[in-house]
Amino acid sequence: MKLRDRGALLGLAVALAGYPAWSQGRKSKAEAKENSDENGAEFKKRIAAGQKKVSTRDFVGAIDEFRNALTEEPTNCIGHYFLGAAQVLKGDPKEAELAWQMGVRYTEKKDKWKGRFLFVLADLQERQGKVDEAKAAWATYLKFLNEHPQLKGYDGTAEERRRVIDVHNELIAQYAPVRRRIEQRLKEASKPPAGTDR
C-alpha cells in the first residue's frame, strides 16, 4: 500500500475540512467583530491563497502560503491541516505527517478537527505501507469517535481498514514459506551447473 492517489487525498482533505465553511457567516455579530481584521484576517487570506494554488496544482506555492499563514497563527490547527494536505499532494508524506502531528497538538477544544487529523494520519500511515502503525492509528480514531458520539465520523471506514490490514498481514504470513522457496530456487538457478567451469 503506497502513496498512489494523491488526488483522492486532496478531495478527502477538502471534504473533511469543509473550507471555506469555517470562515463563513455562522458566527454571531459579536464573534464576527472579534474575528475582524485584528484577529485572523491575514491568516484566512493566506489559507485562501494556498487553497487557490492547490486548485492550480502549484503545491510548492500552496505550501509557502500555508507556512505564511502559520507565521500569523502558529497554533491554529487549520493551517497545519492544509499544510499537510499540500505536502501529500506534492509527494512528501513524511512532511505531511509532521504537519498533521503538529496540528493535532492544537486541537484541545476542537474535537471536530482532532477527528479529522486522526483520520488523515491513519490513512497516511496506511498509504506509506506502515500497516502496524496504521492499524493502531485507525484504532485511535475509532476510540476517539466512540468517546465523542456527537461527532459525525467515519467509524465504518476505520473498522474496514483495520480488517483489511489484518487480511494483509495474514496473507503475508501465509505466503512467507512460498517466498522463501522462490528465493532459494532463484539462488540455485543463478549458480553455474556442477562440473562446468566459467
Distance of CA 178 to the CA centre of its chain: 34
DSSP 8-state assignment for residue 192: P
Residues of the chain where predicted confidence (pLDDT) is lower than 70: 1-39, 195-198
Give the pLDDT score at 21: 39
| 130 CB neighbour count, 10 Å cutoff | 16
Task: Write the pLDDT tens digit of every residue in 53-69.
Answer: 999 999 999 999 999 99
Give the pLDDT score at 79: 94
**Domain annotation for the chain: domains and CATH numbers:** 6-190 (1.25.40.10)
Give the pLDDT score at 196: 65
Please state, in angstroms and rounded to a whole number, the distance separating the CA atoms of residues 97 and 75: 17
Please state, in angstroms and rounded to a whole number, the distance separating the CA atoms of residues 133 and 121: 10
First to last CA, the chain: 42
3-state class of 198 per DSSP? coil
Task: Give the H or E element holding residue 46.
Answer: helix 41-55
Give the pLDDT score at 38: 58
